[in-house]
Amino acid sequence: MTSVGVDLLDIERLERALERRPRLAERLFTDSERLYASSRARPGQHLAARFCAKEAVAKALGLETWSFSDVEVLQADGGGRPEVRLSGAAAAQASALRVRVSVSLTHTRSQAAAVALAASAE
């Protein structure tokens, strides 16, 4: 089984939402995701890309009910491709489908996007 999910987001939209509701970041992103983003010149770009990754993973897995903390995007050592850590409903669905999930992130000044691939783990 192979499935793809994709998501695109206007970075300023997320930045405005986070300004209006500062605790939103805690609901959407893990401690390590927020820490990584805060170390960058424009944290909103990196949070937006991670938000897209979470949405893309949910689409690739066909999740209907899940928590944003179920999908964590980790930066690989040496700045390589990002890795995904699944828990909760996302991990259960990936296990049931017998798939591994990979993501690719990108952003411009105004847009962030991510693609998730759920492919057979066998």
The tens digit of pLDDT for each residue in 79-112 reads 678 999 999 999 999 999 999 999 999 999 999 9
Contact 112, 45 (CB under 8 A): yes
Query: What value does the mean pLDDT take over residues 33-57?
Result: 95
pLDDT band of residue 22 (cuts 50, 70, 90) is: confident
Is residue 76 pLDDT above 90, yes or no? no
Share the mean pLDDT of the chain: 94
Q: What is the pLDDT of residue 121?
A: 76
Question: In sequence order, which residues have a C-beta less than 8 Å from that of residue 15 and are 6 or more positions away?
Answer: 44, 48
Q: Which amino acid is at 40?
A: R
Domains and CATH numbers, the chain: 2-120 (3.90.470.20)
Q: Which amino acid is at 73?
A: V
Query: What value does the mean pLDDT take over residues 54-82?
Result: 90
> Residue 115's Cα: distance from chain center in Å?
9
Pairwise CA distance, residues 57 & 104, whole Å: 11
Q: What is the pLDDT of residue 78?
A: 63
Full DSSP string of 35-65: HHHHTSSSHHHHHHHHHHHHHHHHHHHT-SS
Q: What is the pLDDT of residue 1?
A: 82
